């Protein structure tokens, strides 16, 4: 029997450097991503869709994007990406080809991939802006017969953090006001915060994913790296989207030393 669920894996905030030997916050993020992709390749079914949800590189280096596209050629998954505040959208468009999709239809679902990097404030915030909000409304109108999952980089809800809340999605109020008209939106996934969260907001399942690079400690007034060993490992989020509109999801933290996973719901 064919499994009616849509299988997704979210990888986010890779922060690849233009020079692969350069560390990001004292971590070899290039090797971490290589090992993570190898692990996903060996453990997930080929029909899984891989979503890279922003801050793919750090400060938008073209060499890093090109290296990543080569890496992705070695995995069997259909893959798409969106930009984060550290990315260069023009370079992603130039390097990504099929990775640059906006709408993906999968069985009973429509995935809507948004660019939340408009109106940057220089600190990490970003917005959808009127053009992207209009695209979202148009797409939701077109796919009113489908369950919808929205994919964006910036978190659209508070994470109770003195330094992260000011750089969340800047036009979150307009975003949520728009969604009030569209009950087919079942879920939203984001990156940006380098933390695992799951909320119910306006009846929508909202999930953030920890990073493949480094993790930030929750509820801090200033940027603080995670200091709990169980929460420091590179991570990814698995999702299964059912034909009834339900979302089953868990975060897995990847132990690079022994290729073991610690799961959390």
With CA atoms as reference, report the closest residue to 220 among 167, 162, 168: 162
Q: Do the strands 260-264 and 247-255 form a parallel or antiparallel pair, or are they unpaired?
A: antiparallel
Q: How far is CA 121 from CA 56, 83, 99, 135, in A?
A: 19, 16, 26, 23
Average pLDDT score over residue span 213-239: 97
In eight-state DSSP terms, residue 167 is G
Average pLDDT score over residue span 212-226: 98
Q: Do the strands 6-11 and 147-151 form a parallel or antiparallel pair, or are they unpaired?
A: unpaired
Give the separation between CA 94 and CA 88, rounded to whole angstroms.
10
The pTM score is 0.95
Give the separation between CA 93 and CA 95, rounded to whole angstroms.
6
Neighbours of 135 (CB within 10 A): 17
At 95, list the tokens.
């390097």
pLDDT digits (tens, 9 = 90+) for 238-256: 999 999 999 999 999 987 6
With CA atoms as reference, report the closest residue to 92 among 118, 123, 124, 56: 56
Q: Do the strands 49-53 and 6-11 form a parallel or antiparallel pair, or are they unpaired?
A: parallel
Give the separation between CA 14 and CA 124, rounded to whole angstroms.
15
User: To which residue do tokens 């999709």 refer?
Assistant: 101
* pLDDT recorded at residue 59: 82
Mean pLDDT of the chain: 95
User: To which residue do tokens 């130039």 refer?
Assistant: 94
With CA atoms as reference, report the closest residue to 15 among 51, 54, 41, 50: 54
Given strand 109-113, what is the order of strands in its sheet?
A: 103-106, 109-113, 147-151, 185-190, 204-208, 197-201
pLDDT digits (tens, 9 = 90+) for 9-61: 999 999 999 999 999 999 999 999 999 999 999 999 999 999 999 999 998 78
Tell me the pLDDT band of 1, cut-offs 50, 70 and 90: very low
pLDDT digits (tens, 9 = 90+) for 110-129: 999 999 999 999 899 999 99
Domains annotated for the chain, with CATH where assigned, are: 6-264 (3.60.21.10)
Average pLDDT score over residue span 211-216: 98
């Amino acid at each position: 029997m064919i499994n009616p669920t849509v299988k997704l894996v979210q990888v986010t905030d890779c922060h690849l450097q233009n020079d692969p030997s350069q560390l990001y916050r004292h971590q070899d993020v290039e090797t971490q991503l290589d090992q993570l992709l190898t692990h996903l390749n060996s453990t997930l079914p080929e029909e899984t869709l891989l979503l890279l949800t922003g801050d793919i590189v750090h400060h938008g280096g073209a060499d890093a994007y090109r290296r990543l596209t080569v890496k992705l050629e070695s995995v069997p998954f259909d893959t798409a990406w969106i930009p984060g505040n550290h990315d260069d959208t023009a370079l992603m468009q130039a390097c990504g080809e099929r990775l640059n999709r906006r709408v993906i239809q999968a069985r009973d679902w429509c995935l809507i991939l948004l660019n939340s990097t408009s109106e940057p404030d220089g600190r990490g915030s970003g917005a959808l802006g009127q053009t992207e909000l209009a695209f979202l409304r148009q797409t939701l109108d077109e796919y009113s017969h489908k369950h919808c999952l929205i994919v964006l980089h910036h978190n659209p809800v508070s994470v109770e953090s003195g330094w992260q809340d000011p750089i969340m999605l800047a036009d979150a109020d307009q975003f949520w006001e728009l969604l009030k008209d569209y009950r087919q939106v079942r879920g939203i996934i984001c990156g940006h915060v380098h933390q695992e969260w799951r909320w119910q907001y306006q009846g929508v399942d909202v999930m953030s994913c920890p990073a493949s690079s480094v993790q930030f400690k929750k509820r801090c007034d200033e940027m603080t790296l995670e200091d709990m060993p169980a929460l420091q490992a590179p991570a990814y989020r698995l999702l299964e989207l059912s034909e009834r509109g339900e979302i089953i999801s868990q975060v897995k933290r990847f132990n690079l030393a022994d290729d073991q996973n610690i799961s959390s719901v």
